[in-house]
Amino acid sequence: MAKVGYARVSSVGQSLDVQRGKLSDCDKLFEEKRSGTTDARPQLKECLNYLRDGDQLIVTRIDRLARSTLHLCQIAETLRGKGVDLVVLDQNIDTSDATGRLLFNMLGAIGQFETEIRAERQMDGIKKAKDRGVQFGKRPALTANQIAELRGKRQQGILVKDLMAQYKLSKATIYRYLRKSDYQV
């Protein structure tokens, strides 16, 4: 039976040191610096492939492992199929017994609920900001006068590559500005 640890932080600026310390008793440790919301977590995939019957997967918190309740249930099913128990240190969960499995499922649902509430609050904040006139996204590279000037130069036969150099824009952006339907001046 091997104790296999998995540690994850969401961004490059964050440190894995606290999780490494808590997982120091593990025989093998998989770690990565990736957002939990992305599917591309190669170390998690490698960790799940590495696990064998009788092993324990050990994480510090449930949210370090899964991005949603559905994902958590999928991982739990994979672990069950392999005969692997999950141990979550900070929440004191061990799925080798019925109480641990119950607590595991309850905390997963609560975590999903918190994520959805956070997303709702974020959307409310964005809506309020838009109502106040806050603009989101990248600002246009050219003003209306510059767009008119760009179109005039193109009609005079100036090459797109020369317009790209003059306005310091990509070819795609130049063509977007040249399409009348997108930018009426």
What residues act catalytically? Answer: 10
Taking every pair of Cα atoms in the chain, the longest distance, rounded to a whole number of angstroms, is: 78
Give me the helix-helix angle, 144-155 and 160-167, nearest 10°.
150
Q: What count of Cα atoms within 13 Å lies in the side-chain half-sphere of residue 95?
A: 26
- Residue 157: alpha-carbon gap to chain centroid: 46
d(CA 50, CA 54): 12
Token output for 19: 């999780």
